[in-house]
Amino acid sequence: MRHQLKTSLAAFAMTLSLGGFAAQADSLAAQWLSGAAANGLPELGASEATFRFSSGIPTASPVVKRFEEALDVLRGAGGEAYDLPSFHAGTVHKAYEAFNAARTGISDFAICYSGPVARGFTMSQVTYVPFVMPERDVVAARILADLAPKYFAPEFEAAGVYYGSTIAAGHSHLLSRDPVRSLEDLKGLKIAAFGREVDFVAALGATPTPVPPFDVYTALQQGVIDGVFWTEPAFVAFKLHEVAKNLTYVGGSVVRVDGCVNRRSFDRLPDEARGAIYEWSQAMAAAVTKTAFTDFAPIANKILTEASVELIELDDSERARWVEAGQTVQDAWLASASEQGLPAEELLADIKRLTAFYEPMTDDEIFALTLDEPVTGIIDGM
């Protein structure tokens, strides 16, 4: 189990490390990151303090670049007396050690991953329940922030950390050696997947086949696996389109990447600094979602098309069959939550309600809302 957890977290970290190449320069999120738009944050204040940020993601990652740009925004929010260092590429902890790093004080704010954690994060794993989350990552990120106080933050606090925010790091799709246009095409195929995605693969009638992320290229090339569920940034960055020429757009789940906050470090900060870091965390997650993932979609499409990858859209009747198959995963998740006394049905209803509310809004409008009206109550008293 520990090996599987490390593999899943490595896959998530590598997806982040290689996702996204350029931000849409005129988006409000990109302007906020570059300093061209008002930061919208409270001032840190004049007290002296150190607050450390970390991840297990390589420094060359566009996600780290966007994260660092967001940190520069925070560093510019007054507080010259504050030391806000950052560490990446596993220099202080590996990806799978992020929770422990934030819990024990090795880091004060660590990029962590609730998705692959088997126990204690039932509500947080809703993003991996097929076809529950909205199609737009920006909408998904805002909804996760809205619902954090009630559903997600308590799970993080039970694990010994505060919940900071969630980056919606893209929807998962199927890249395969042979075209997959129907469930019949999937029968008997060996499909690699990571984290909770394996349940969906099994429900579709394929055979979940564990493969470490760095071995996926060779496994596809040699026919050890027939396909892989992952995100478009990972397909492109790992050059999987060289050995698998068929991409079926599924979008069943959303990869989530969370911010874990050391409770003692946060609590001892002055009120002004806690307010600034609290609001910054939400803005950072929204900005990284937009610039490193949403804005990457047309770039990925162009790269894949030029590589002669067939882009397959399921027709409505066929997609309904995949959704029906995914319902079995949802039913199992609901049953597990019910056994634990958790309000999963209420969570699904809230996601549906908020999706209808946010879908008509543009990405810029949603980001402006994040700056103007950050969600309160994610951490008690904030």
Residue showing tokens 């970290």? 13
DSSP letter for 45, please: -
Buried b (16+ CB within 10 A) or exposed e, 126-164: bbbbbbbbbebbbbbbbbbbbbbbebbbebbeebebbbb
For residue 107, give the nearest of 162, 43, 62, 165 by alpha carbon. 162
- CATH 3.40.190.170 in the chain, residue ranges: 2-169+256-295+344-372, 174-252+301-333
Q: Which CATH superfamily is domain 2-169+256-295+344-372 in?
A: Bacterial extracellular solute-binding protein, family 7 (3.40.190.170)
Q: Is 239 exposed, middle or buried (0-12, 13-18, 19+ CB in 10 A)?
A: exposed
Helix (H, G, I), strand (E, B) or coil at 285: helix
CATH number of this structure's domain 174-252+301-333, picked from the four choices 3.90.79.10, 3.40.109.10, 3.40.190.10, 3.40.190.170: 3.40.190.170
Predicted local confidence at residue 118, as pLDDT = 57
CB atoms within 10 A of CB 336: 13
Predicted local confidence at residue 4, as pLDDT = 44
Tokens of residue 281, six digits: 């965390």
pLDDT for 253-285, tens place per residue? 998 999 999 999 999 999 989 999 999 999 999
Quickly list H helices, 244-379: 263-267, 271-288, 297-306, 316-339, 344-358, 363-372
* 324-346: average pLDDT: 97
% the chain with pLDDT above 90:
72
pLDDT for 23-69, tens place per residue? 456 899 999 999 998 888 888 876 778 999 999 888 877 788 999 99
